[in-house]
Amino acid sequence: MGARVALVTAALLAGCGGEKAQQLPAAPDTLQLATPNFKDGGNIPRDLTCDGAGQAPTITWRGAEGTELVLFVDDTDADFVHWTAYGIPAASGSGLAPDGQFPTGTKYGKNSAGKTGWTPPCPPEGDDPHHYVFTMYALKDATALPDGADPDAVEAKLKGAVARGTFTGLYQRTRNR
């Protein structure tokens, strides 16, 4: 009986990493989202992580339509939300958030650490590279969320998005630096 419980537990734990990104709502991939800090699928620079200054990356977008944009960033290997930002105006169709500073009026939600704003990548030393998925959604209707909303409340507002864009960064901490 104990071996059976251990087997079921192991199967459940094996399925935990990466499921959050697959559960985020689908939307047409018509929004172009990027960062000048690293290439899509590339390594996140040390200064954007817990091993460096931990600053937020610069975010750029084009092709936004709708009323409001929402940014959702999570580590799909740890099911950890690193950043949510919402109330971002979509009216101009494009935008820039230098060092993670979005336009006036943007609200920031709590991350999985319970803090508001950006929490830099900090996977356990020795883990394989973690995948940090940055996804921006264009919404038809405003979220009406207050500052400091929890990640689940932000995620719930993503259903019915009219567009999205995404990019991924990788980060791995090494032992004996």
Question: Mean pLDDT of successive 10-residue segments in the chain (177 residues)?
Answer: 36 37 80 97 98 97 93 96 96 91 95 96 96 97 96 95 97 77
Query: Token pair of 103, please?
Result: 């336009």
pLDDT of residue 176: 53
CA-wise closest residue to 105 among 117, 89, 90: 89
Q: Are 60 and 113 in contact (CB under 8 A)?
A: no
pLDDT of residue 12: 31
Structural domain spans, the chain: 18-171
Fold entry, domain 18-171: Phosphatidylethanolamine-binding Protein (3.90.280)
DSSP 27-60: --S-SEEE-TTS-TTEEPPGGGSTTTT-PPPPEE
Q: In degrees rounded to 5, what are phi and psi of residue 24?
A: -60, 145
**AA letter at 112:** S
pLDDT of residue 93: 85
